[in-house]
């Protein structure tokens, strides 16, 4: 198994470091955040604040380099990768994929880059918030572009599966559009609701029950993290935000005019059912041979149909579609 | 202790019946929904589909009558109350208070009516979804208007406390404005999000994680129930919906122009903190003598400050404010 070098030791990077160690990988980490490095070392991990040295070691040992820095720091770290481990096998765990892909192509052009995004997290951040089990049962998007090296892709996918996740193969653009809907819009609506709720003063806070608590939970996330993901996914998020505004405006219009909200509420109920159905459907098996000429199309089609990859055997991807 | 007659045996009414029986009250119920009546009887409760007979018995025994029918059925049941138990002690558990107050004054003018609303529930409905512990730790608004009979109010408040809730005294108007923010808007935003998410197709459903699941949970509520509460609270909900639209539109504008969402996201984060602070603050004790000339003002001030009543001793309300 290839060694692993993790750059960035916050919630996600720190969890990758722990999880990789737990499955027996040789793993070391580096971060510019001294507190995270210290906390990591205190728990017995091989970590430091010397990112360049960690990358030189990755180059020597042909390790998989995992970029787990905030989106706003990705460009700077890519330049460091290009300087110290220019041709490494490289992936990232950032919540926006198109921007990182563009930056990787421009700033670390010799790296064998495969974008990734584990759909796991909490409202917490920093090393101490992480744990080795964070990726268990989670979806982990591993990007497939027309020029993706499928050997590199398979190594990153196998790593995600080793850490307990299932892999969803998608283009960066398709990922960004989907997460705008199911992650970035929820963060923005939670912020709207938390603001409107708090404007109601102590009475509103005293009456807030489950529906409010659940719907505003992610508004407690560190604002810098939410800004990075939403502002970093601007192009995909704007049309989704317009769709939400259109739907909310239609509700407002209906309530003010006829007083009836049946269409909007029924649509939301159908949406809730779509999620429940997707989760309860009986899966059917799918295989994709990575050596086939249309392997990239086959992988992306699996992802687009809501499928997941649960294992890689030799050069065959084993997955399921619900 | 006064006997209790519950009209409507769905999630809330069924839970009231169970909880009242559990604390030793003589209690019987009636509902026009035969399935709920049968299920209730099968579990050993005194229930039927004869609402008129249940109300006549309430009149004979001077029972507390609890209206737990859907908002859309309140007017019809109030007429039946006026016919069979015209001067009873009457409360309700409906999620909108101004409309029920107006209807009670018009349709059951001799009843000693005190509006109520337990802030508890699930996305489920019907007798089988209920349980005796539903109100444990929940806020239960018991309305105080300028003409509220404080003797009747104290009986309803004591009943709510007996069932495990704490009481929040508010006017119907103040209740309706607060729940528009922390209950009805969350339902509408959940419907918007569930619609926009499902529009993303199988990929979006496959990637949906905690933030989406939590934020759309209440979109699975029976649409008729959501319509009843939101459409029934139209006057209070419209300005709250406008506030949400304004905030979401401001986000859209910022993202499209400067690309920055700091103001909006920071505001949401402060809102989340306001809720956490309200829940973590150390409470200080408050007492209100129900015999005092300004008792109604004292009760409402307690509610407006986010306070709660945890006990009634003789004619003194014992509460706390955080």
Interface confidence, given as ipTM, is: 0.92
Cα separation of B37 and B45, whole Å?
Answer: 9
The whole-angstrom separation of Cα A63 and Cα A27 is: 9
B166 touches chain A (CB under 8 A): no
Q: Is the pLDDT of residue B257 over 70?
A: yes
The pair of structure tokens assigned to A90 is 């490289």
The topology (CATH level 3) of A176-260 is 6-phosphogluconate dehydrogenase C-terminal fold (1.10.3660)
Question: Tokens 């719907």 map to which residue?
Answer: A215
Structure confidence at residue A123 (pLDDT): 66
Show residues of chain A in contact with B72, CB under 8 Å.
Answer: none
What tens digit of pLDDT does each residue of B148-204 get?
Answer: 999 999 999 999 999 999 999 999 999 999 999 999 999 999 999 999 999 999 999
Whether residue B96 is predicted with pLDDT greater than 70 in this model: the reply is yes
Identify which of B210, B215, B224 has the alpha carbon closest to the alpha carbon of residue B194. Answer: B215
Interface residue B62 vs chain A (CB under 8 A): no
Q: By the CB < 8 Å criterion, does B179 face chain A? A: yes
Which stretch of A132-141, A231-240, B100-109, B113-122 has the lowest confidence by average pLDDT?
A: B113-122
For CATH 3.40.50.720, list the domain ranges present in chain A: 4-170
pLDDT tier for residue B210 given thresholds of 50, 70 and 90: confident
Show residues of chain B in contact with A170, CB under 8 Å. 203
Task: Flag if A185 and B196 touch (Cβ within 8 Å).
Answer: yes
Q: Does B137 touch chain A (CB under 8 A)?
A: no
Compute the mean pLDDT over every residue in chain A, rounded to the nearest whole number: 96
Give the residue carrying structure tokens 């926006």: A96
Distance of alpha carbon A100 from alpha carbon A113, whole angstroms: 10
Given a cut of 70, whether residue A177 has pLDDT beyond it is yes
Mean pLDDT throughout A169-196? 98
CA gap B186, A114 in Å, rounded = 38
B91-120 residues touching A, CB cutoff 8 A: 119-120
What is the distance of C-alpha A136 from the center of its chain? 14
- Assess whether pLDDT exceeds 80 at residue A124: no
Place of tokens 């996201």: B265
Q: CB B216 to CB A120 under 8 A? A: no
Are B261 and A229 in contact, with CB atoms under 8 Å apart? no
Average pLDDT across chain B, whole number: 96
Q: By the CB < 8 Å criterion, does A208 face chain B?
A: yes
Q: What's the rounded Cα separation, in Å, for the pair B45 and B38?
A: 10
Q: What percent of chain B has pLDDT over 90?
A: 94
Burial of residue A306 (CB within 10 Å: 0-12, 13-18, 19+) is buried
For A202, the closest chain B residue by CA position comes to B306
* Range(s) within chain B of domains with CATH label 1.10.3660.10: 176-260
pLDDT at residue B123, as a whole number: 65
CATH level 2 (architecture), domain B4-170: 3-Layer(aba) Sandwich (3.40)
pLDDT of B124 over the 90 cut: no
pLDDT at B120: 86
Which pLDDT score, from 0 to 100, does residue B53 have?
98
| pLDDT per position as a tens digit, A186-229 | 999 999 999 999 999 999 999 998 889 999 999 999 999 899 99
């Amino acid at each position: 198994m290839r060694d692993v070098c993790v750059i960035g030791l916050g919630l996600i990077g720190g969890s990758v470091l722990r999880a990789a160690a737990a499955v027996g990988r040789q793993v070391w980490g580096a971060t510019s955040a001294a507190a995270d490095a210290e906390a990591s070392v205190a728990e017995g991990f091989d970590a430091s604040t010397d990112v360049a040295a960690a990358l030189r070691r990755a180059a020597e040992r042909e390790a998989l380099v995992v970029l787990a820095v905030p989106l706003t720091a990705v460009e700077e770290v890519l330049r460091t990768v290009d300087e110290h481990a220019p041709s490494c096998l490289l992936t990232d765990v950032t919540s926006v994929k198109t921007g990182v892909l563009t930056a990787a192509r421009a700033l670390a052009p010799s790296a064998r880059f495969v974008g990734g995004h584990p759909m796991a997290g909490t409202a917490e951040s920093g090393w101490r918030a992480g744990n080795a089990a964070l990726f268990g049962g989670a979806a982990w998007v591993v990007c497939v572009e027309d020029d993706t090296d499928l050997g590199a892709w398979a190594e990153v996918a196998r790593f995600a599966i080793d850490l307990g996740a299932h892999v969803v193969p998608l283009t960066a653009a398709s990922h960004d559009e989907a997460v705008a809907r199911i992650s970035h819009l929820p963060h923005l609506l939670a912020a709207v609701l938390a603001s409107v709720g708090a404007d109601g003063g102590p009475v509103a806070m005293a009456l807030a029950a489950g529906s409010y608590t659940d719907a505003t939970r992610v508004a407690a996330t560190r604002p810098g993290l939410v800004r990075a993901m939403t502002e970093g996914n601007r192009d995909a998020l704007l049309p989704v935000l317009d769709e939400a505004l259109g739907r909310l405006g239609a509700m407002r219009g209906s309530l003010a005019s006829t007083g009836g909200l049946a269409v909007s509420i029924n649509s939301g109920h159908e949406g809730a059912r779509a999620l429940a159905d997707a989760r309860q459907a009986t899966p059917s098996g799918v295989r994709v041979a990575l050596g086939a000429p249309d392997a990239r199309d086959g992988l992306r089609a699996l992802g687009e149909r809501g499928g997941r990859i649960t294992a890689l055997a030799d050069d065959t991807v084993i997955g399921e579609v619900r």
